[in-house]
Amino acid sequence: MKKALKQLRVPKRLSRKGDNGKILIVAGSRQYHGAPAFSILGARRFCDLIYFLPGEASPGILYSVLPIPEPIIVDELPEADCALYGPGLGNAKFPFLKLRKKYSRIVVDGDGLKKIKKSELKGTILTPHEGEFRRLFGIPSTPQNVLDFARQYSCTILKKGPTDFISDGTRVIRNTKGNPGMTKGGTGDVLAGLTAALFAINSSLAAAAAAAYIAGLAGDILYKKQSYAYCASDLANTLPEAYKKMLNGS
């Protein structure tokens, strides 16, 4: 884990807007309005620009995002370094292939994992929990299985759980940060947004490992303050403190 965290890029002193990542978030549906907002909350402090494209037209989705000032709402695919596909898509028909043709870096989360084909996994970061991993690959998510499937499909897998298993097909990194308070709805969307923001300017393994570590550390910081009584927005708001601790080697 320490080796992967050391590879994480930090903004250079002479950086200009856009140098530190532009991402597109494709998320939300008539069923699930909150997922895009949580994804944006997870990403907004870790990249320069966020574009948001609803998975399907719904006023409820836009109302959930409008109070957050950072995202630029779009109706077509913009120029971006990384795309996040899947949080809260529900039954929305937005095709993954449309993103695949334009972006080389894509994070696939939540409902996106139900819509993607195995032939489309190359170069992506997948963020499944145990049930999603089993649905996609048909077997449990042991460290060896995570490694094998990441290698077979040339992707990076961040398998979420009490211990996260992260692999790009060359090795497995274990993340033990985090606690059961992170089972609250929306925390996975926060992690997905953070992962996409980091993937915009980092390698897939460094981005996935750092995102898992930072989110888990944020959960542990909250646990020390208030036990399990925290929610997804609390987690997103604590990411900067966790990020600073990570950079300081805490």
The order of strands in the sheet holding 72-73 is 72-73, 49-54, 22-27, 82-85, 106-108, 124-126, 156-159, 164-167, 172-175
Cα 28 to Cα 84, 123, 188, 214, 229, distances in angstroms: 12, 23, 14, 24, 26
Q: Which domain holds residue 17?
A: 13-247
Pairwise CA distance, residues 44 & 232, whole Å: 14
Domain presence at residue 123: yes
Rounded mean pLDDT of 148-175? 97
**Residue 10: pLDDT band with limits 50, 70, 90:** confident
Direct distance between the N- and C-terminal alpha carbons of the chain, in angstroms, rounded to an integer: 13
Pairwise CA distance, residues 108 & 87, whole Å: 8
- 3-state SS, residue 199: helix
Domain presence at residue 108: yes
Domain presence at residue 70: yes
Q: How many CB atoms lie within 10 A of CB 248?
A: 7
- Counted domains in the chain: 1
Pairwise CA distance, residues 91 & 30, whole Å: 8
Residue 223 tokens, joined: 């646990």
- In 76-203, which residue ranges form alpha helices assigned H by DSSP? 96-100, 112-115, 130-137, 143-152, 187-199
pLDDT digits (tens, 9 = 90+) for 70-126: 999 999 999 999 999 999 999 999 999 999 999 999 999 999 999 999 999 999 999
Domain presence at residue 2: no
Domain presence at residue 1: no
Domain presence at residue 154: yes
pLDDT, position 14 = 87
Domain presence at residue 8: no
CATH of residue 112's domain is 3.40.1190.20
Residue 249 tokens, joined: 């080697």
Averaged confidence pLDDT in the chain? 95
